Amino acid sequence: MDKWRMTFDLHTHTCLVRNGKVITHAVSTMEEVVLSAREKGLKKIGISNHGPGHVTYGLPLESVADLKKERDRLQTLYGDIEILIGVEANIINRSGLLDVRPEELAQFDYILAGYHYGIFGEQPVGAAVLHGRNWIWETTGRRMRNPGLRSDNTQRMVEAIMKNRPLAVTHPGDKAPTDIEAVARACEETGTWMEINNFHKDLTVENLKLAAKFDVKFVIGSDAHKPERVGCFEEGLKRLLEAGVDPERVVNLERM
Ligand SMILES: [Zn+2]
Ligand SMILES: [Zn+2]
């Protein structure tokens, strides 16, 4: 059987301290992430903290300059790996706008977009109700059928993809019932990669099979919150193979 290795990882979180306060939820420093990525033989590493709208661990846009300064320092020290500063922006609004506004997107080297609880956006009350219903769906084993909820989540994700054209949509289907075929269609149209998250269970095997019917590319993201998890892709690859999808369709896998 072929063996595969990961060539880059664009989904990692770091610990940020601003004005003496810890503002993100990961434990790794950027340097630890970079060192771990080099150890794993990656050619490129991306730091993608949560978008600014997340109430508990959103990245204040004022700290992007600090991140870039640290990136530049590390890039001088470690010339054998490319270091990028991205963001995992939050999908929440019916309008399709992320919590990083269109005019702010260019500050980042790349944009990931995903759905999370903890973001309230343009209609806070509606968002709180949506999260609550999704949370019940997720915590009761994803069995509940709720077509209205599913279409509401799907519409938000599709709008966000069409309007913002992120590089990738993170863990689609996680935390909320979602029509993966509709999301895959939007990804096909915009060239957006669909993430197979190595930490969360989405894309699931079942949803990978549905997404693979469309002309889309996949990317595996470690979603590492600790240095040792950077560059981990084995769980994602396992699901991909189980779904019968060709690993050649994953942009960051290479045959060994
Ligand atoms: Zn996420
Ligand atoms: Zn993440």
Contact 187, 157 (CB under 8 A): no
Location of structure tokens 């922006």: 89
**Paired tokens of 1:** 């059987």
pLDDT digit string, tens, across residues 46-97:
999 999 998 888 888 989 999 999 999 999 999 999 999 999 999 999 999 9
Query: Which architecture characterizes domain 4-255 according to CATH?
Result: Alpha-Beta Barrel (3.20)
CA distance 14 to 10: 12
Q: Would you list the domain boundaries of the chain?
A: 4-255
CA distance 170 to 86: 13
Rounded to the nearest whole angstrom, what is the distance from the C-alpha of residue 169 to the centroid of ligand 1?
9
Location of structure tokens 């979603």: 223
pLDDT digit string, tens, across residues 114-158:
999 999 999 999 999 999 999 999 999 998 888 899 999 999 999
Bridge partners, 17 (sequence order): 22
Would you state the pLDDT for residue 47?
Answer: 97
Ion ligand 2 nearby residues (CB, 5 A): 88, 223
Residues near 38 by beta carbon (within 8 Å), at least 6 away in sequence: 78, 80, 81
**Paired tokens of 114:** 């995903």
| pTM, rounded to two decimals | 0.95
Rounded to the nearest whole angstrom, what is the distance from the C-alpha of residue 12 to the centroid of ligand 1?
10
- In the predicted model, what is the mean pLDDT of residues 196-212? 97
DSSP states of 94-105 as a string? TT---SS-GGGG
Rounded to the nearest whole angstrom, what is the distance from the C-alpha of residue 12 to the centroid of ligand 2?
6
**CA of 223, nearest ligand number:** 2
